[in-house]
Chain A
């Protein structure tokens, strides 16, 4: 019986958490869409998430592109299929690795900082202070972050796609003996609009999820420095897991025929 009880408790806890997260997201989006938009807050978040994440995302993308080219070469040379390398690199980057790696890196960078910032604002009563100053904290703090994340991650992924292909090009041209023009031409040969678009849709979903996790856990943190630390950890872990799950779901929606 105690086993069943434990399973039941865990299930109920999971369901109540999912419910709380969904309600939080709905409230935040509803409050953001019904009232004024805080442009100043939105601008700050766009700068923080978009511009200042560029180095991290770019570095991730360039090395991923490079390693993709190298790995596919060592593998594909066995079948005399080296010519597929540009296609492998560009499809992997745009469809999978660009959005997923950018999402995970930004979850670590931005999700954590959102959770820590909102968590600190919660425990130092700054969120209560907003309420007393007739400002809805969901509209002022949460909605601009959700919107910035949803808009900026696709932009970052677009940059990551280009840089990733460039990484593959660098290794292929300088190490594996591809012709520079030939490599670029082959990259575009099999690339379809849908490949890029699906990656950008994924990025928007990941951007929403990772900012939502940061906001939700930060907003609800309790109990001083330790509470804020725990919120930060939960934000990054839950965002990473959700990104991996959502990645499968969106892929399924786009490509499962």
Chain B
């Protein structure tokens, strides 16, 4: 997929947060194994408030496990995850649920609830927390759908009736419906054609800056990285081996990052046959 240098990237915009913003998410020494397979091996990562950080890494490098650990879906074996200073590892259910109210998540396959129409999907978080009644929820859902470029006629469709790109948009609408402080994106462009991928990337970029949200994404799509990232971190063998602003991606001085960014089969990263992590 070719780069699109004419389109401004997030890095070209004036940053809403100061350069040394406090860490919204601070991860220290995160360890997670599945049986004998050590996926995360003492991972450290900070996501500054109001910035968009993208974690890159090969398939099976543990990117998904990282994001699911922060969301509290996969309990880590050891380490610390703090959101706004609050420790999430080992937190009670109630504390985790409270922290999750700050979160919005776009899943790789959109993960829409296929038994519910689009509007109920979008308003699910609002209805679950009883912030609104059903009539108001529907109005909020339609307003949110408009933000991702979908008309009110989409509201009563079911997820199975939507194309992949539309499902991603609805998933995005569901993620932002409760105006979260932190957004997570899991491979947001996977399975989309290059044009639709670019549309989704632009939507993500615009919504993140409109909401002033902190974003943590994982992807291996370099076009997506260049479009949606302020900062980039590279995950390799369970650790962050490089982290820096997106402008430094091409002269990182790190042979692993170079190999990944340029998509070379040969280099320090040895590609084995691994199960997807």
Contacts and interface: CB of A to CB of B under 8 A. Distances in A.
Interface of A: 121, 124-126, 128-135
B124 interface: yes
A50 to B, nearest CB: 18
A126 B114 CA distance: 9
Given A125-B111, A129-B112, A134-B97, 9 more contacts: A124-B111, A125-B109, A128-B73, A129-B105, A129-B107, A129-B174, A131-B71, A132-B73, A133-B100
A38 to B, nearest CB: 9
25 contacts: A121-B113, A124-B109, A124-B111, A125-B109, A126-B111, A126-B113, A128-B107, A128-B111, A129-B107, A129-B111, A129-B174, A130-B113, A131-B71, A131-B72, A132-B71, A132-B73, A132-B100, A132-B105, A132-B184, A133-B128, A133-B174, A134-B97, A134-B100, A134-B125, A134-B128
A121 B159 CA distance: 13
Contacts of B113: 121, 126, 129-130
Contacts of A132: 71, 73, 100, 103-105, 184
A131 B96 CA distance: 10
Contact of A125 (B72, B104, B108): B108
Contacts of B128: 133-135
B101 interface: yes
A132 to B, nearest CB: 4
Interface in B53-85: 68, 71-73
B266 interface: no
A132 B67 CA distance: 12
Contacts of A135: 124, 128
A134 B101 contact: yes
B129 interface: yes
Contacts of B109: 124-125
Interface in B85-115: 97, 100-101, 103-105, 107-109, 111-114
Interface of B: 68, 71-73, 97, 100-101, 103-105, 107-109, 111-114, 124-125, 128-129, 174, 184
A100 B72 CA distance: 42
Contacts of B68: 128
Nearest to B93: A136
A133 B128 CA distance: 7
A129 B113 CA distance: 9
A27 to B, nearest CB: 11
Q: Which 7 A-B pairs have the closest CB atoms?
A: A125-B111, A129-B111, A133-B125, A132-B105, A135-B128, A125-B107, A126-B111
A109 to B, nearest CB: 18
Contacts of A121: 113
Contacts of B112: 126, 129
A131 B111 contact: no
Contacts of A130: 113
A131 B72 CA distance: 9
Nearest to B184: A132
A121 B71 CA distance: 18
Nearest to A128: B73
